Structure 1
Amino acid sequence: MPQKVAIESWDPDYGVPSTEQAEEPDVEVDAGVEVPEERWGPMPAQAEERPGVLMFIDGVRRIDANAWLEDGRSPVRQGMFASFAAGAVRVVHQAHVDRIEVRRVLFAPGNPEAFATRAGTYEPFGVASAVVDASSSALQERLAASVADDADLVVVDGPLYRRQHLPRTIGYVKTHRVHYLKGRPAETIAALAEGERTPVFRFRTSWTRNAWYLRLPGPKAHAWSGVVRMEATADLPLDETVALANLTAAVLPRHASKPHKDPRAPQNLYPIAGLERELRRRLGDALYVERALRAAAG
């Protein structure tokens, strides 16, 4: 019996697995990587050489529909149609989109079949829908790997996880669900002026990385206004990590967005914001894609 698909009538957002972050595992923090903890204080941007080629990587995902699948060989099972896009912005003198990849995937237990629609073909992925986030990260990882050798600095939107092996690549974290520092290091974050960074520290959860906080230019409504966390692989020598930290403090504030142009300012950097808009456009109109799925399901 050919695969039979029935598209769920509810808006897919109502059936999406929880996006709440899992509880953070035990954290080990070493605040004395660059300077001893008792000497922590804001560090002004250094006059480092600007990168010749700066790359920004971002990705988006969308749940297009939930569905029920049956093939006559196994019980009816639930599936999920999702679309992913990842892209890179190249900045030399001006910013322009360097490359974009789009994937459409059908997630379902067992061995689902490819599902063709007029909006594109959904590749089968025989696992539970919980891997949606992982699939999005994998697409960004592949794209970052393809541009890393051509750039002097690669900024990946989000944590560096699974991309630690890429050269000259840092993770750019805009939101802070967990506060990793205490005491004088935590006070240093509140004391940061625009363009200043904290010393480099190291922390370990399920993986180990070096990190530092940087304050971008913009209104300071509270201690964490405009603060972002940068992540670098823990495998780099300290002097190279410090050079990366100084480079981000010198370069990234120039790309900070303004509140009258972006509600997520200043953390949503202009190259990332522009790329995100283009990625969502490349996913296609959500209603058109849903109608295409329903038409293909019959």
Structure 2
Amino acid sequence: MSIAIGHGGFTVDAWDPGYSAALAADALAELGATSAELDLDVEVPAADWRPVSPAPDAAPPAVMSIADGVRRIDARVWSHDAGVVPPSPGIAASYAAGIVRCTPGDGAPAQLAAVEVRRSLFTASPYASDIKTTAGVYRVEAAADDSMDGLSLALQQRLTELEVDLSIRARADDAGADDLLLVDGPLRGRTHLPRTVGYIKTHHTAYLPAPQAAVVSALGPGQRTPVFLMGTSWRRHAWYVALPVRSAAPWAGVVRCEGGADMKPDEAVRLADSVTLALPSLAGVDYKDPRAPQNLVPIGGLEKLLRHRLGDPRLLYRSLRAAADR
């Protein structure tokens, strides 16, 4: 949405202001500045970059599985270990992962394939024990340190591990299905999964030099950038895709996709074409989702279901308080 005022004008970002912007302002200001190692010549020479439409013989995946996870801190806790002062901090958290399957383009709703909920006590204390409550058991999970960042990182790592485990089990249960697995978020920690693509909705870092970043801005709906290799603390193929969107905000409707670094260039290009064909039909709509179009309809539905499966936070908090008072 673009609204002119006087001789100037401004653009309203399509995303609800309650969420972080799809493109961080500092990333926009620093286009061209990146510490990532880039190989921009994977598909075409860097000087020849321009918006790419999928090849005429390309097709979306027959089946797309989408994996996502949610997490919530139910309470901050302190472990009062005998003879240890001060007490050790921790967090009691609930987290869940799920997988839905859909057929891009057919309009049918996604089907739930797997879901699992876990509750854990994250702490660096070697003396902590499981917390048994009337609402469930919080199993002890070790954190590297007792800072809030360390505890939160341990929670995120366990959630990622649950997503990976669930993805492997769901594929094993559906042997022979040649599906494409889309994971909501970076591919890091999941690069070993076959036919798997990371799906990044927000852009906190501007990885591309200015000439190639301009190609991202020029993308039309259903187009992508050429495939490139990107290396930070890990390597992967990547490409940007533009989804249908009404907003004229910078990089509106643009997502980044990631594939494994071990693919051959032609394999990465075919995968990029297939994903680019699949995503527009799954894009969210702004009157239903404040993070549309990047928050795909199946992802939004799965997140809602998973948050429901986490349980009532007030009930869980009261059960933790009651367990502490015993």
- 1:167 corresponds to which of 183, 186, 194: 194
Q: Does 1:88 align with 2:99?
A: yes
In structure 2, C-alpha distance between the alignment counterparts of 1:225 and 1:241, rounded to whole Å:
24
Unaligned stretches of 5+ residues in structure 1: 1-23
Structure-1 residue corresponding to 2:55: 46
Q: Does 1:134 align with 2:152?
A: no
In structure 1, C-alpha distance between the alignment counterparts of 2:279 and 2:253, rounded to whole Å:
12
Once the two structures are overlaid, the 10-residue window that deviates more, 116-125 or 131-140, is: 131-140
Q: Deviations over 1:35-57 (max 9, x none)?
A: 00111000113342332221000
Q: Does 1:123 align with 2:139?
A: yes
Q: Does 1:275 align with 2:271?
A: no
Report if aligned partners of 2:120, 2:138 keep a CA contact under 8 Å in 1. yes
Q: Does 1:200 align with 2:227?
A: yes
Report if aligned partners of 1:25, 1:206 keep a CA contact under 8 Å in 2. no
Percent same amino acid at aligned positions?
Answer: 44
Report if aligned partners of 1:215, 1:228 keep a CA contact under 8 Å in 2. yes
Q: When the two structures are aligned, how many residues end up with a matched partner?
A: 275
AA partner of residue 134 (structure 2): R
Structure-1 residue corresponding to 2:148: none
Across the aligned residues of Structure 1 and Structure 2, the Cα RMSD in angstroms comes to: 1.6
Q: Secondary structure at the match of 1:248?
A: helix
AA partner of residue 123 (structure 2): A
In structure 2, C-alpha distance between the alignment counterparts of 1:146 and 1:252, rounded to whole Å:
25
AA partner of residue 200 (structure 1): V
In structure 1, C-alpha distance between the alignment counterparts of 2:275 and 2:70, rounded to whole Å:
24
In structure 1, C-alpha distance between the alignment counterparts of 2:102 and 2:278, rounded to whole Å:
11
How far residue 192 of structure 1 moved from its aligned partner, in angstroms, is 0.2
TM-score, normalization: structure 1? 0.88
How far residue 201 of structure 1 moved from its aligned partner, in angstroms, is 0.7
In structure 2, C-alpha distance between the alignment counterparts of 1:151 and 1:116, rounded to whole Å:
42
Unaligned stretches of 5+ residues in structure 2: 1-32, 146-150
Structure-1 residue corresponding to 2:119: 104
How far residue 73 of structure 1 moved from its aligned partner, in angstroms, is 4.5
Q: Does 1:288 align with 2:298?
A: no
Aligned ranges 1:1-298 → 2 under 5 Å:
26-47=35-56, 48-75=58-85, 76-92=87-103, 94=108, 95-109=110-124, 110-127=126-143, 128=145, 129=151, 130-148=153-171, 150-298=177-325
Q: Secondary structure at the match of 2:248?
A: coil
Q: Deviations over 1:248-298 (max 9, x none)?
A: 111111000111110000000000000000000000011111011111111
Once the two structures are overlaid, the 10-residue window that deviates more, 176-185 or 200-209, is: 176-185
TM-score, normalization: structure 2? 0.81
How far residue 151 of structure 1 moved from its aligned partner, in angstroms, is 4.3
Structure-2 residue corresponding to 1:8: none
In structure 2, C-alpha distance between the alignment counterparts of 1:267 and 1:83, rounded to whole Å:
26
Q: Secondary structure at the match of 1:146?
A: helix
In structure 2, C-alpha distance between the alignment counterparts of 1:126 and 1:247, rounded to whole Å:
40
Q: Secondary structure at the match of 1:159?
A: coil
Report if aligned partners of 1:212, 1:245 keep a CA contact under 8 Å in 2. yes
How far residue 74 of structure 1 moved from its aligned partner, in angstroms, is 3.0
How far residue 30 of structure 1 moved from its aligned partner, in angstroms, is 1.2
